């Protein structure tokens, strides 16, 4: 009785199975890269705002300290969006009638907040405290990039868990003197490893990598 299948059918079946496994692995790998891509993470994508506010002009050109607008950044988990009254500390005198500042004047008159577009957003299950990082010598530009050079603000880092853990595992590579935390143009010195090791000990920085530190 003749064979129901030609011997070459076994080879075809094996190749089909291997191809299916390879294709599945490729799809999973491509999906993994896609969800972690800068596009998916909204990294380096300038955010349009309801009025043309420029950090480059205010923080860079005028040299306004981050804390003047983000008043809670040293004392709590959130940096906070400045209230409209803070804008009018200057703009009630300068460019007070400028058409571009109409949303500011309307916000103050109606006591309704300006609907700024959020740039940095973490999932609800992620806990992050600005004040802890600042008081441990982690500078603003380490996480937010050179905001003083951004006309429209964008998210500088990927904000992946791996990105956070790299700093938590090796804080000596990132920590800076407390006097330089708000210095936008700070550059790590060549002896960062030595300086960082000293500051880690001085500031009592712990290498916190337990899940419960951030996921609460």
- The 10s digit of each residue's pLDDT in 75-86 is 999 998 899 999
Query: Is 40's pLDDT higher than 90?
Result: no
Q: Per the domain annotation, does 11 fall within a domain?
A: yes
Q: Per the domain annotation, does 120 fall within a domain?
A: no
Query: Is 196's pLDDT higher than 80?
Result: yes
Query: Is 130's pLDDT higher than 90?
Result: yes
Q: Whose CA is closest to 174, among 128, 149, 205?
A: 205
Confidence of residue 15 (pLDDT cuts 50, 70, 90): confident
Number of domains in the chain: 1
- For residue 90, give Cα distances in angstroms to 55, 59, 105, 116: 15, 14, 12, 19
Query: Tell me, what's the pLDDT at 42?
Result: 79
| Bridge partners, residue 43, by sequence | 155
- Tell me which of 68 and 7 has the higher pLDDT: 68
> What is the rounded average pLDDT for all residues in the chain?
89
Q: Per the domain annotation, does 10 fall within a domain?
A: yes
Query: Tell me, what's the pLDDT at 37?
Result: 65
Query: Is 28's pLDDT higher than 70?
Result: no
Alpha helices in the chain (DSSP H): 8-35, 55, 66-69, 84-91, 102-110, 130-135, 140-144, 161-169, 192-202, 211-214
Query: Tell me, what's the pLDDT at 169?
Result: 97
Confidence of residue 216 (pLDDT cuts 50, 70, 90): confident
Q: Are 13 and 20 in contact (CB under 8 A)?
A: no
Q: Whose CA is closest to 148, among 54, 52, 48?
A: 54
Alpha helices in 121-160 (DSSP H): 130-135, 140-144
Q: Per the domain annotation, does 6 fall within a domain?
A: yes
The domain of 13 spans 1-35
Q: Per the domain annotation, does 139 fall within a domain?
A: no
Question: Could you read off the pLDDT of 84-116 as tens digits, one per residue?
Answer: 999 999 999 999 999 999 999 999 999 999 999
Average pLDDT over residues 123-148: 96
In the three-class reduction of DSSP (H, G, I as helix; E, B as strand; rest coil), residue 155 is classed as strand
């Amino acid at each position: 009785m003749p064979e129901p299948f030609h011997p070459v059918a076994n080879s075809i079946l094996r190749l089909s199975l291997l191809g299916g496994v390879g294709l599945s692995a490729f799809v999973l790998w491509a999906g993994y890269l896609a969800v972690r891509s800068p596009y998916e993470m909204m990294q380096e994508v300038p955010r349009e705002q309801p009025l043309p506010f420029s950090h480059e002009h205010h923080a860079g050109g005028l040299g306004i300290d981050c804390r003047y607008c983000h008043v809670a950044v040293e004392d709590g988990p959130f940096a906070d969006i400045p209230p409209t009254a803070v804008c009018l500390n200057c703009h009630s005198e300068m460019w007070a009638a400028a058409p571009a500042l109409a949303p500011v004047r309307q916000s103050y008159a109606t006591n309704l907040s300006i609907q700024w577009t959020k740039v940095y957003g973490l999932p609800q299950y992620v806990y992050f405290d600005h004040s802890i990082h600042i008081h441990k010598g982690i500078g603003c530009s380490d996480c937010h990039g050179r905001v003083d050079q951004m006309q429209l603000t964008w998210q500088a880092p990927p904000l992946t868990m791996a990105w956070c853990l790299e700093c938590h595992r090796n804080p000596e590579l990132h920590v800076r003197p407390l006097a330089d935390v708000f210095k936008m143009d700070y550059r790590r010195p060549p002896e960062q490893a030595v300086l960082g090791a000293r500051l880690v000990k001085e500031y009592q920085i712990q290498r916190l990598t337990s899940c419960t530190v951030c996921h609460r």
